[in-house]
């Protein structure tokens, strides 16, 4: 519940789904998720080649938020560092 309350600053509720603003930093030294006031910063240690960075972003957000990877979908920014990612409500 604490994470959901904190998420209210970095998300927009679209009916049962949540839209997350994410900035990706590919080719980082380590994988990590940082929560800022109005977005997430996700650092991934893989290059943005053939969707590998996007896959890692979904994996890291899944672990961070405790939701299955299948609940996440990149709506905007597939080839950009700035993304809008949908988290499907249960």
Residue ranges covered by each domain of the chain: 2-87
Contacts of 70 (CB under 8 A, 6+ apart): none
pLDDT at residue 80, rounded to an integer: 96
Q: DSSP string covering 9-56, please?
A: TTEEEETTEEEEEEEEETT-SS-EEEE-SS-EEEE-SS-SSTTHHHHH
**In sequence order, what are the beta bridge partners of 87?**
18, 72
Mean pLDDT by 10-residue block, N- to C-terminus, for the chain (90 residues)?
Answer: 45 71 96 95 96 96 96 96 89
Q: Using DSSP bridges, classify how beta strands 11-14 and 72-76 pair: parallel, antiparallel or unpaired.
A: unpaired
**Predicted pLDDT of residue 16:** 74
Question: What is d(CA 39, CA 7) in angstroms, rounded to the nearest whole number?
Answer: 9
| CATH among 3.40.50.2300, 3.40.1440.60, 3.30.1200.10, 3.40.50.12280 for 2-87 | 3.30.1200.10
Predicted confidence at residue 4, as pLDDT, reads 45
- Dihedral-angle region of residue 36 (phi above 0 means left; psi in -120 to 50 means alpha; beta otherwise): beta
pLDDT at 90: 60
Q: What is the pTM of this model?
A: 0.83
């Amino acid at each position: 519940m604490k994470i959901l309350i904190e998420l209210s600053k970095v998300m927009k509720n679209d009916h049962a789904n949540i839209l997350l603003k994410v900035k990706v930093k590919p080719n980082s030294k380590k994988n990590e998720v940082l929560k800022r006031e109005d977005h997430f910063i996700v650092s991934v240690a893989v290059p943005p080649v053939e969707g590998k960075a996007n896959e890692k972003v979904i994996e890291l957000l899944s672990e961070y938020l405790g939701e299955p990877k299948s609940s996440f979908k990149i709506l905007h920014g597939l080839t950009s560092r700035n993304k809008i990612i949908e988290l499907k409500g249960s």
